[in-house]
């Protein structure tokens, strides 16, 4: 039973990146899947705690073999110049523990417009994205059938009254966790839709 960690919206916070990497190490996860907005805070957000993109770069680059990443709306070509792992893909299609994930940042493909912005997915597949900074672990009724919809929330700039968070897949169980280990959301991704 493999474990995989999902995180989004670090936004250049060295403070929260350290907490994330500590949780990653303690979790025993095989890979850290970053769902974008790694280094830059973006013009709509306040500066996160201990904003230091160069420190975030120095923390993430040594883990390049353990990181999978998709591009967020705050990534630019210069980010790829300083990061030692690919970060410019708009999406990734992953098969983890026998489950099919469509991983993206969420600024293009999402469930926010009555299913009109869904990527090409089959019933029972999993859409996971960040961008909204709000954790989600539920099913979504699309015109082509039920899909799973996941969002690990934000590592550094949570919204909607939620705490700073990340996601952890253990077998077929997905949990959104705060940095004290508390469960914010969870879902079994193998139950019948």
The radius of gyration of the chain's CA atoms, rounded to the nearest angstrom, is 15
Identify the residue with better confidence: 24 or 49: 24
Q: pLDDT at residue 173 above 90?
A: yes
Share of the chain above pLDDT 70, in %: 96
Enumerate helices (H) and strands (E) in the chain, giving the number of each: 3, 11
Overall average pLDDT of the 62-71 stretch: 98
Confidence of residue 144 (pLDDT cuts 50, 70, 90): confident
pLDDT, position 1: 78
Q: Are strands 3-7 and 173-178 parallel, antiparallel or unpaired?
A: unpaired
**Please, what are the domains in the chain?**
3-188 (3.60.21.10)
Question: CB-hemisphere CA count at 13 Å for 15?
Answer: 8
* Buried-exposed string 49-76: b where 16+ CB fall within 10 A, e elsewhere: eebbbebbbebbeeeeeebbbbbbebbe
Share of the chain above pLDDT 90, in %: 81
CB 46 within 8 A of CB 9: no
Phi first, then psi: what are they for 76, rounded to 5°?
Answer: -135, 170
């Amino acid at each position: 039973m493999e474990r995989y960690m999902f995180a989004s919206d670090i936004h250049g916070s060295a403070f929260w990146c350290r907490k994330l990497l500590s949780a990653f190490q303690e979790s025993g996860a095989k890979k850290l899947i970053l769902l974008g907005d790694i280094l830059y805070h973006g013009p709509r957000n306040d500066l996160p705690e201990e904003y230091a993109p160069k420190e975030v770069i120095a923390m993430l680059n040594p883990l390049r073999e353990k990181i999978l990443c998709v591009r967020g709306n705050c990534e630019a070509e210069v980010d790829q110049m300083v990061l030692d792992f690919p970060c410019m893909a708009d999406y990734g299609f992953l098969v983890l523990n026998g489950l099919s994930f469509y991983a993206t940042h969420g600024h293009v493909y999402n469930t926010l417009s009555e299913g009109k912005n869904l990527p090409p997915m089959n019933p029972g597949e999993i859409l996971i994205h960040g961008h909204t900074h709000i954790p989600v672990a539920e099913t979504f009724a699309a015109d082509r059938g039920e899909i799973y919809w996941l969002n690990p929330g934000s590592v550094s700039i949570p919204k909607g009254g939620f705490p700073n968070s990340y996601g952890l897949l253990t077998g077929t169980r997905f949990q959104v966790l705060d940095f004290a280990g508390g469960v914010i959301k969870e879902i079994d991704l193998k139950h019948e839709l």
